[in-house]
Structure 1
């Protein structure tokens, strides 16, 4: 299987970086892996519209061709990112806005969106929301799953949330990484 990991965290010593390494280390060698680290790539998340940058032309933006090619190449996407202020990091949101565009990722039809992409996705996100507030909190992993990936054609989308990261003990952090390792081994 061809797997593309889309990683969005600016600190290479973060817990998200530990998750990234855990996935890499536990992925079967039978899979082909490519990693897209949006911060290391210095991805420009700014979407521009003007006389030369028209929204209807985004699917042909030469600057985004490499990223579109990666999405088409992959059978499985793995997103790893923190949830900050009830949302994904701006760099990841900008990536979605610039790459998951009409006439590439989906078609607009009279009945709604028709996805052009295919495959599976796994969303791994971390946040500090206390468990008591989870039913009321904005869950950006669900937004990504139901309002972006599924309409773009992804059929199977799994979500793993690691909560209260800032308050976890080292033992709890290791336990969560072990769970991620087991889930990775089952890909």
Structure 2
């Protein structure tokens, strides 16, 4: 299995960075994971802004040379791991900008007759590791599960990715947030995962 980790947090002394290290450590100890790549969007200085004009059109995003490297990473990966905070009930703008550019028509999906497109990223799987200040069940109870609906139904299923696993960790700014237990859970998951 080839694993691509997309890390979206600007601070390398953060709890999110500790989750990144737990994923890497567990993956390095997993005999089923043969290769691993990490894309740190902030360290990469990824530009999340969409620019469209007379020379650069939305329908041509799939052939934009500025994102070819990232397209190749997604093609290469069997499993994609996203690590990010949940801010205002959704992933940060940096990650959404990456999604806007990479999950484009004729790369991630292709329009066809009927209601739904053809997903071009079939066979891949996704794990989302997210953190938030509020309680773990806040998105479910107060936001009608908006985060998971956005990521799973509106994005991953749309492009053909059916296997999606979520780890939503709440109370992350609390000293009683069980940080070590949650980090260990992520480490063990990636150490043992087979597909």
User: What is the TM-score normalised by the length of structure 1?
Assistant: 0.94
Structure 2 counterparts to residues 68-79 of structure 1, below 5 A: 68-79=71-82
Q: Which residue in the other structure is 1:153 paired with?
A: 160
Q: Does 1:130 align with 2:135?
A: yes
Is the 1:125–1:141 Cα contact (8 Å) retained in structure 2?
no
Superimposed CA distance per residue, residues 1-50 of structure 1 (whole angstroms, 9 cap, x where no aligned partner): 10000110000011100000011011125420000000000000000110
Q: Distance in 2 between matches of 1:141 and 1:131?
A: 13
SS at match of 2:97: helix
In 2, distance between residues paired with 1:53 and 1:131? 41
Q: Matched residues in 1 for 2:176 and 2:153: separation? A: 32
Matched, 1:5 2:12: no
Q: State the SS of the aligned residue for 2:67.
A: helix
Structure 1 stretches (4+) deviating beyond 4 angstroms?
Answer: none
Distance change in 2, residues 1:72/1:131 (3 Å): closer
Contact 1:123 1:141 in 2 (8 A): no
Q: 1:52 to 1:175 in 2, by over 3 A?
A: same
Q: Secondary structure at the match of 1:48?
A: coil
Please show how residues 169-184 of structure 1 align to structure 2 within 5 Å: 169=176, 172-184=178-190
Matched, 1:115 2:122: no
Give distance in 2, aligned partners of 1:131 and 1:39. 26
- Consecutive unaligned residues of structure 2, counting only runs of 5 or more, are none
Q: Find the aligned partners of 1:132 and 1:2 in 2 and give their Cα distance.
A: 31
Unaligned runs of 5+ in 1: none
Secondary structure of the residue that 1:135 maps to in structure 2?
Answer: helix
CA drift at 1:169: 2.7
SS in 1 for 2:39: strand
Superimposed CA distance per residue, residues 59-83 of structure 1 (whole angstroms, 9 cap, x where no aligned partner): 0000010001100000000000000
Residue matched to 2:147: 140
Task: Identify the match of residue 104 of structure 2 among 94, 101, 107.
Answer: 101
- SS of 1:17's partner is helix
RMSD over equivalenced CA pairs, Å: 1.5
Q: For residues 16 and 159 of structure 2, what CA distance do their matches in structure 1 show?
A: 26
Q: What is the count of residue pairs matched by the alignment?
A: 186
Q: How far 1:132 sits from its partner (Å)?
A: 6.1
